[in-house]
Amino acid sequence: MQDYIKEILIEIGEDPKREGLIKTPSRVENALKFLTSGYKSNLNEVVNGALFEVKYDEMIISKDIDIFSLCEHHILPFFGKCHVAYIPENKIIGLSKIPRIVEIFSRRLQVQERLTTQIATSLDEILKPKGVGVVIEAQHLCMIMRGVQKINTVITTSSLLGCFKDNLNTRAEFINLIKGKG
Ligand SMILES: [Zn+2]
């Protein structure tokens, strides 16, 4: 990969031999491998049996999970907050696993819409819950740094499954919990 990165440096008018850039190809390679490590992560390995049988049928919500991803159109970062909620049927998942699942799909080349859907669908498959809701609020550097340059534009996407889709009260409870501070 480093040879290609050197080529890109030349193409943009840089000198890959100047001091500040000598190690750049290897740094970029390492950064890209980390930021796309989700391709090598396996959902079942991450969940690793952290599922528990519990009689609980209220909403469980993980709010304000940091997400960092790369837009597949420009390979520039988009980043923001992800909110995940579900109502269990009879299985719950260890709370630390939800941010890990978010990472599996955010550390790839993505569009925000697909990222949102993949997180919701995965939880739906793993937990078979009564419903799942995922909302992502993110800013895209490809919008902020170039093109329209609208600094404060936040893109919001949502994926609602099961009772989050069918039941207006559930949906309203979810939205209120996300909006509430703290
Ligand atoms: Zn983009």
According to the model, what pLDDT value does residue 136 have?
Answer: 98
Band (148; pLDDT cuts 50, 70, 90)? low
Q: What is the largest CA-CA distance in the chain?
A: 63
Residues around ligand 1, an ion, CB closer than 5 A:
71, 73-74, 142
Q: How far is the CA of 112 from the centre of ligand 1 (A)?
A: 10
pTM of the predicted model over 0.75: yes
Q: Residue 180 gets which letter from DSSP?
A: S
Q: How many residues does the chain have?
A: 182
> 170: how many CB neighbours lie within 10 A of its CB?
20
According to the model, what pLDDT value does residue 181 have?
Answer: 53
Whole-number Å distance between alpha carbons of 178 and 70: 24
Catalytic residue numbers read 71-74, 112, 140, 142
Q: How far is the CA of 74 from the centre of ligand 1 (A)?
A: 5
Band (182; pLDDT cuts 50, 70, 90)? very low
Closest of 133, 136, 106 to residue 120, by C-alpha: 133
Q: How far is the CA of 158 from the centre of ligand 1 (A)?
A: 19
